[in-house]
Structure 1
Amino acid sequence: MHDATDNRPAALLAMAPGVADRLFTAAQRKRLTGLVRTDPALVADDFTAPGPALATALAEAEILLTCWGVPALTGSVLASAPRLRAVVHAAGTVKHFVTDACWERGIAVSSAAAANALPVAEYTLAAILFAGKRVLDAARGYRALRAPHDWHGELIDAGNYGRTVGIVGASRIGRRVIELLRPFDLRVLLYDPYVDAAGAAALGAEPVGLDELCARSSVVSVHAPQLPATRHLIGAVQLAAMADGSTLVNTSRGSLIDEEALLRELVSGRLHAVLDVTDPELPAPDSPLYDLPNVLLTPHVAGSLGNETHRMAEHALDEVERFVKGEPFAGPVLPAALDRSA
């Protein structure tokens, strides 16, 4: 029973089974229960048929603390949550579960997209530097040859000194990648129709058109959001413009690349690719992507993984604390920006 003297807001966790166990450390759980009234063991993964405990928690909740696998917050769900005032998402995009009904109700929404951007940018930095150094080629050749060889002669065109890197999209991740590239002797190009010349210069990048970026860059890294307008943003024309031996890095969404056109370039051996996302997300079992020697394929792990999820949890707890104190969110999601953000 609720203690009438306890003025802390009520909160409910909503995410896929098992996510909460991985998301929070013991210390973070303790911090959560100090900020709000909640049962950390009660986690909603389905709002369609809630049991008595979940129905009561939903009816009392002023805050939903969400993460991967949270059910959609439809109008009928919100009708069962009359006191709900805020959604704090301990992950990136909220598009898959925050509905128009949330905005119509005036519910405040926060996202940990800024926290999740950091490991994606770190993965991208490693991919860019490894691509310039031709690390995968060297490792593969070394493993196959197992004998003395003039590697310096074979890799004479490798190296990161003076390379040109093209960043497609000045998103949170794209901007963080540009920031991480600053200490290196690299030239950075940027394509983003929403960033003018002054904005690009402030980031330390040269603004160019997409086709020019592809033609001039040794590595092209994609960081634009998944929108109808960005489907196959990198198509056959852009891929053909890329120089022989250059590398395409995609940590955004697979739909931004025309995968059929990319496969033609990869099978020919003309281009290299580092792909953390594909379209579809799991390539078919017979896809050449699994076996091509010029492709590094990873299973959507560039974002928060393992202990990196605790950074998102910390961000979410900071937001919960701001809500409790009556302060604005540091990472608010604004409906007007959703049409051009992830």
Structure 2
Amino acid sequence: MPQQSTAAVGSTAAVGSTDPTDPDRRRPRAVLAMHPQLAPQLIDARTLARLTSLADLDPSVVLDDFTTPEAAAALADAEVIVTSWGCPPIDETVLAAAPRLRAVIHAAGSVKHHITDACWERGLQVTSAAWANALPVAEYTVAAVLFANKQVLRLAADFRELRARHDWQAAYPRIGNYRRTVGIVGASQIGRRVLELLRPFDLHLLLHDPYVDAAEAAALGAHPVELDELCALSDVVSIHAPQLPATRHMIDRRRLALMPDGATVVNTSRGSLIDQDALVAELVSGRLNAVLDVTAPEVLPEDSPLYDLPNVLLTPHIAGSMGTELHRMAAAAADELACYVAGQPFAHPVLAQEIHRTA
């Protein structure tokens, strides 16, 4: 894959003020590309005002199809595309219609759905708000880890059934978060944030990531181990690796069998990283527990046992940015647009040479 040029912004964006009152400030032409119904949910009034002050941007034009006459007119003069979920691929045809395009600012996570090889060949500057989307996922994960070690799912089901006083200490002698072992699979932006948030607790943190050495793992507050050892030692296994051919079913039947009785699997990454049939078998038996925000397929059939098992917390892919959290990603995009207008490098660039191993 061609290497990303580092000269595109510097060659086209004059260094200057981002102060909207500065009459000499440069305002590049920009266009929004995402699901039209998403735009008003993503971009609140404060951020919209900032975007339109930084760039010549018409908020009423939101593209989700680059083949229309409206898109052709918008792309002809566009220097920046601000994208989010629902942006079509930016391929050779789109780039031919956008001769002035120099940067793509993604107000969401992965850019793999719309950034093509042609973008790198053009030397486009690309940035993503993946770091901002990682924050709510990490918060969801930390809540799941702490609840898992308190065995909240099983205890709540028992309490619902008994509806009476009970010796819960005797029934659950091993619950708690003191000196429990949590295994983090993948030092992604989310995985790193999870480690950071878990650091103040009295937990033993393990990390498996083939790209992280012992010194870096120690700096993250974790002990590096191979994946088999992580599965065998962890009370909670939380998955934060990217969806790649090499990571499909990385948590397979054998590794699930390595996990201690009563362990919990937390998956906020992608359903394909787990052998779901093998996981369902373990969950139906009652040996393991799970917190699953993602599954394979993403929408399970109505007869899936995962809906009804008392040892499973199943949510519909909501760990990432939702509601007010969407506004953080739009604000992050506005920050990057300010960098571009000032002729400064992006704070969170996406690099061609690294995209093969990221989400």
Question: TM-score normalised by the shorter chain: which range applies?
Answer: over 0.9
How far apart, CA to CA, are the structure 2 residues paired with 1:224 and 1:6? 42
Counterpart secondary structure, 1:296: strand
Q: Compute the displacement of 1:54 (Å).
A: 3.1
Alpha-carbon distance between aligned partners in 2 of 1:220 and 1:338, rounded to the nearest angstrom: 25
Cα deviation code 1:115-143 (max 9, x no counterpart): 11111000000000000011122222112
Measure the CA separation in 1 of the matches of 2:94 and 2:221: 46
Deviation for aligned residue 1:6:
8.1
Structure 2 equivalent of residue 237 of structure 1: 254
SS at match of 2:105: strand
Identify the match of residue 54 of structure 2 among 16, 29, 35. Answer: 35
- 2:215 aligned partner: 198
Look up the equivalent residue of 2:49 and give its one-letter code. K
> SS of the residue aligned with 2:243?
coil
Residue 55 of structure 1: how far off its partner (Å): 2.0
Alignment partners' CA distance in 2, 1:283 and 1:221:
21
Q: Deviations over 1:182-220 (max 9, x none)?
A: 110000011111111111111111111101100100000
Identify the match of residue 311 of structure 1 among 328, 331, 334: 328
Cα separation, 2, equivalents of 1:41 and 1:149 = 60
Structure 1 residue runs without a partner (length 5+): none
Matched, 1:218 2:209: no
Separation in 1 of the partners of 2:205 and 2:157? Answer: 28
Amino acid at match of 1:155: Y
Inter-partner Cα distance in structure 2 for 1:322 and 1:214: 43
Equivalent pair of 2:65/2:71 in contact (CA under 8 Å): no
Aligned length: 336
- Specify the alignment match of 1:298 in structure 2: 315
Alignment-derived partner of residue 225 in structure 2: 208
Match of 2:43 among 21, 24, 31: 24
Post-superposition CA distance 1:55-99 (Å, at most 9, x none): 211111100000011111111111111110000000000001100
Tell me how far apart the structure 1 counterparts of residues 161 and 101 of structure 2 sit (CA, whole Å): 60
Determine the C-alpha separation between the residues in 1 that align with 2:253 and 2:270.
17
Matched residues in 1 for 2:55 and 2:278: separation? Answer: 51
Query: Which amino acid letter does the alignment assign opposite residue 20 of structure 1?
Result: A
The one-letter code of the counterpart of 1:242 is M
Residue identity opposite 2:54 in structure 1: L
> What amino acid is aligned across from residue 238 of structure 1 in structure 2?
R
Q: Retained in 1: the 8 A contact 2:232–2:259?
A: yes
Please give the alpha-carbon distance, in whole angstroms, between the structure 2 residues aligned to 1:204 and 1:30.
40
Greater RCO between the two (CA within 8 Å, min separation 6)?
2
Structure 2 vs 1, CA of residues 60 and 6 (structure 1 numbering), >3 Å: closer, same or farther?
farther
Q: Is 1:151 aligned with 2:150? A: no
Q: Percent identity?
A: 65
> Is residue 251–residue 273 contact of structure 2 (8 Å, CA) maintained in 1?
yes
1:7 Cα deviation (Å)? 3.8
Matched residue, 2:78:
61
Of residues 264, 281, 293, the one that matches 1:264 is: 281
Provide the residue aligned with 1:250 in structure 2.
Answer: 267
The 4+ residue runs of structure 1 with deviation greater than 6 A are none
Q: TM-score by structure 2 length?
A: 0.92
2:13 — aligned with what?
A: none
Give matches, 1:73-222, under 5 Å: 73-222=90-239
Find the residue that maps to 1:38 and give its secondary structure: strand
Letter paired with 2:112: K
Q: Normalising by structure 1, what TM-score?
A: 0.96
Look up the SS of the partner of 2:126 in the other structure.
strand
Q: What RMSD over aligned residues (CA atoms) do the two structures have, in Å?
A: 1.1
Moved more, 80-89 or 151-160: 151-160
Provide the rounded CA distance (Å) in 1 between the counterparts of 2:26 and 2:187. 42
